[in-house]
Structure formats: structure tokens, C-alpha cells
Chains A and B, each alone.
Chain A
Amino acid sequence: EIVLTQSPGTLSLSPGERATLSCRASQSVSSSSLAWYQQKPGQAPRLLIYGASTRATGIPDRFSGSGSGSDFTLTISGLEPEDFAVYYCQQYGSSPYTFGGGTKVEIK
């Protein structure tokens, strides 16, 4: 099983600041099969990034994904008020299709 470790657990930032979220896998994720999801309180997760770096339909370009192998990063270039949420990475390259523990981006 591929274990995904997200850091930090919580990120306290102000609107307009840059957020950098990390997702580290216990082994290489095949074919960069890594996705990022955003979840707001009381809502279902929403797909942001797939294939490690491709933005999903309708996702603003302030969200970007990078990385390969076992190290991945989600960057939000300038936080908007609606971006404060919990972010999860997930690998879909091999079963079980594990999720990271999440990073909460909160308003400082």
C-alpha cells in the first residue's frame, strides 16, 4: 500500500499569500497518477489537479501542481478568500487508492 504523507497539517496564511502544500509517497506513484482535491466544510471534495500537474475543468490558474515519483506539491499562487479549505492528495496508480491525511489552509 502506498502511504501518502501531507505536510504541513495546517497552514495559516493571509489572503494574497502563496500556499505551498506537500504530498510525499512511501513509494513511487506510477505514471504521476496523483490528484489533489479541495474540500470545504459540509461539502464533497472537488477535483483540482490530476496527473500531478493538470488543472481540472474550471479550476483557476492560481492553482498549480508539480512533482513526480514520490514528491508532489500543490501551490496556490495568491490565496483568495474561497481557497481556505482542506486539501487532500490521492494516488490512483495502484490499489488501494490511498489519500493523504489532508492539509488545512486557514486564515491567519
Chain B
Amino acid sequence: EVQLVESGGGLVQPGRSLRLSCAASGFTFDDYAMHWVRQAPGKGLEWVSGISWNSGRVGYADSVKGRFTISRDNAKNSLYLQMNSLRVEDTALYYCAKVFGITMVGYYMDVWGKGTTVTVSS
């Protein structure tokens, strides 16, 4: 069974850092690009960041550019999101999603994890 399990969320003060992880199983992880998507409480979906199969291409939403860094470890079947300089507006449920392809452009998200909650508050 294809599965994505996010972890690493929690309560953090503004300006601090947090690292999210996404453990993948049930498929050949290094054959696919991956994304992070977030959803603020009661709001819609927002794409955050994406990474190609070999980390050769990465992309970020303007709202997180310069603060968040996406990475992956194909040997560990894991995706990461390093979040620095967190703001109150980063509070959200963060999903990782598998892409049906080796790169982000032109390929949709076909499998989603259940998400991990990040709360930024003093």
C-alpha cells in the first residue's frame, strides 16, 4: 500500500525553526517528485514547495521563499521541510504529496499523507 506519513509538527514561537519529515512506503520513492502543501485552519489548500526525483529542481511559494528549504533522502525514503523564521501565518496542517512523475511540472499529486500540524504562536 502506498503510504505517506508526516511528522515533526508542533507548537513553536514566532521566529523559531521546525523540521517536518515525510516517510514514504509502498512505492519506489526515488522515481517520483514530491510536494509540501499546507492548509491553514478553515482555509483552502496552498502549495508550499516541491522537489524533483533527484533533488535537481526545487520550487517554493513566494510566501515561504528564503525561509523554508525542501530536501529529500532517497536512501531513507524521506522528504523534509526545514522551516526557519516561522511566522504566525505559517500555522497550518502540512501535507506531503507524491507526484505522478519524476518532476513537478506537468504531473499531478496522486497520493497525500494525513498531515502534521504546525502552530506558530507566542
Contact = CB atoms under 8 A, between A and B. Distances in A.
A74 B100 CA distance: 21
Interface in A43-69: 43-47, 50-51, 56
- The range of chain A's interface size is 20 to 34
Interface in B75-110: 95, 100, 104-110
Contacts of B104: 92, 95, 97
A56 B109 CA distance: 11
Contacts of A92: 104-109
B112 A99 contact: no
A94 B50 CA distance: 12
A92 to B, nearest CB: 5
B118 to A, nearest CB: 16
A94 to B, nearest CB: 7
Contacts of A56: 110
B59 A95 contact: yes
Interface stretch (B9-17, B24-32, B40-48, B66-74): B40-48
Interface of A: 1, 30-31, 33, 35, 37, 39, 43-47, 50-51, 56, 88, 90, 92-102
